[in-house]
Amino acid sequence: MCSTKLILLLIYSMTSMGHEPIKVNYQGLPSHIFQPATPNEPLKLRLIGNKLFVGGRGLLYVLNTDNITSNHRVQWRATPDETEVCQYLPQGSLEKCYNFIRMIQPYNSSHLLLCGTMAIERQNQFLRLSDMDLSSADSMISTPLCSYEVDDPGCSVLGEVGGAFSSVAATTRRAGNTNTNLVKNLPMRKHIQATLGRSKMVDEKAEFVGSFAYDDVTSGRLEKKLYFVFGEDAREPGSSNGHATRIA
């Protein structure tokens, strides 16, 4: 079975002082091995301050980049009943019937927002940073903010921050559905959702790979905008490139 090894190194060079570069022998350095369920299962990464959060199958790894030996694991697994029911669903298979953490999003100063596939139906959870405790986000966020498919390259971005309540925009895709949805949750209100398709200027099968917020000044007025980076089939007449990278 294939595995992914993550090694954090800190190397300091004194070449500017006229010294020879320091040679570091990586043998024996602390490392962590994250073993996926299948050779092609991707891991979700998010670096926040000096902590690296790694979302895997049923586990969220929390690594301290200042001291890799200081680490924590947060368990978030699908229940045995959910796993069993999943295997009888049309989209179910033994490889998919787990909880794969597919979104790790800073929410406010005290919490992260997570989204996992949860075998049957996607779910959102809050992670309290002070004690790494999980709690349901259903009362505040009414729709899952990640895709069901493990290998779907979704992304998310923090839109507005208002004290304890924030707005998050994310790309999602339901199980067995080729349409990509762009969802923005509004604190304590119904979410906004747009289905992407060729009539919407974005291909329904677009692969979103990144997102960011940016303050844009238009006609002397400041506007807060969210940008998404994605790849899709090129549609321009006479285009020789079958795939194009765009930003919207």
pLDDT in tens, the chain (248 residues): 333 444 443 333 334 445 455 454 545 555 545 554 444 456 788 888 888 899 989 999 998 888 877 788 999 999 999 988 888 887 657 778 899 998 898 888 889 989 998 988 889 999 999 999 999 887 787 788 888 877 777 777 777 655 555 666 666 666 656 566 666 666 555 555 555 554 455 666 666 666 666 677 777 777 776 676 766 666 656 555 665 566 55
Task: Say which amino acid occupies 199.
Answer: S
Contact 116, 125 (CB under 8 A): yes
CATH number at residue 234: 2.130.10.10
Indicate the pTM of the whole model. 0.68
First to last CA, the chain: 39
- In sign, the C-alpha dihedral spanning 85, 89, 91, 92 is positive
**Number of structural domains in the chain:** 1
3-state helix, strand, coil in the chain (%, to 5): 5, 45, 50
User: Which range of residues forms the domain containing residue 46?
Assistant: 4-247
Q: Which of 214, 211, 230 is nearest to 222 (CA)?
A: 214
